[in-house]
Amino acid sequence: MEKLKRIIEEQGTVLSSEVLKTDRFLNHAIDPDLMNEIGTEFASRFQDLGIIRVLTIESGGIAPALMTALHLHVPMVFCKKTRPVTMCCPLSASVHSFTKNRDYTLCMEADLIKKGDRVLFIDDFLANGDAFAGIRSLVEQAGASLAGAGFCIEKSWQRGRKNVEASGVPHAVLASIASMSSEGIIWNEDQPLRLSAEQA
Ligand code: 5GP
Confidence at residue 196, expressed as pLDDT on a 0 to 100 scale: 64
Spacing, Cα 189 to ligand 1 middle (Å): 21
- Reported as a pLDDT band with limits 50, 70 and 90, residue 192 is confident
Determine the atom of ligand 1 nearest the C-alpha atom of 123: 10
What mean pLDDT do residues 92-103 have? 96
State the chain's mean pLDDT as an integer.
Answer: 96
Determine the atom of ligand 1 nearest the C-alpha atom of 21: 22
- Reported as a pLDDT band with limits 50, 70 and 90, residue 45 is very high
d(CA 119, CA 66): 14
What mean pLDDT do residues 62-81 have? 98
Lowest-pLDDT range of 23-27, 58-62, 85-89: 85-89
What mean pLDDT do residues 165-184 have? 97
Which contiguous run of DSSP H or E holds residue 4? helix 2-11
- Ligand 1 neighbourhood includes 64 CB (under 6 angstroms): no
Spacing, Cα 26 to ligand 1 middle (Å): 12
User: What are the distances in angstroms from CA 112 to CA 46, 57, 74?
Assistant: 21, 14, 13
Dihedral, CA of residue 175, residue 101, residue 62 and residue 83, to nearest 10: 160
Helix, strand or coil, per DSSP, at residue 182 = coil
- Ligand 1 neighbourhood includes 19 CB (under 6 angstroms): yes
- Ligand 1 neighbourhood includes 12 CB (under 6 angstroms): no
Question: Quick check: 155 pLDDT over 80?
Answer: yes
- Ligand 1 neighbourhood includes 153 CB (under 6 angstroms): no
* Stated pTM of the model: 0.97
Substitution site in 4, 98, 121, 158 for ligand 1 pocket (most atoms within 8 Å of beta carbon) = 98
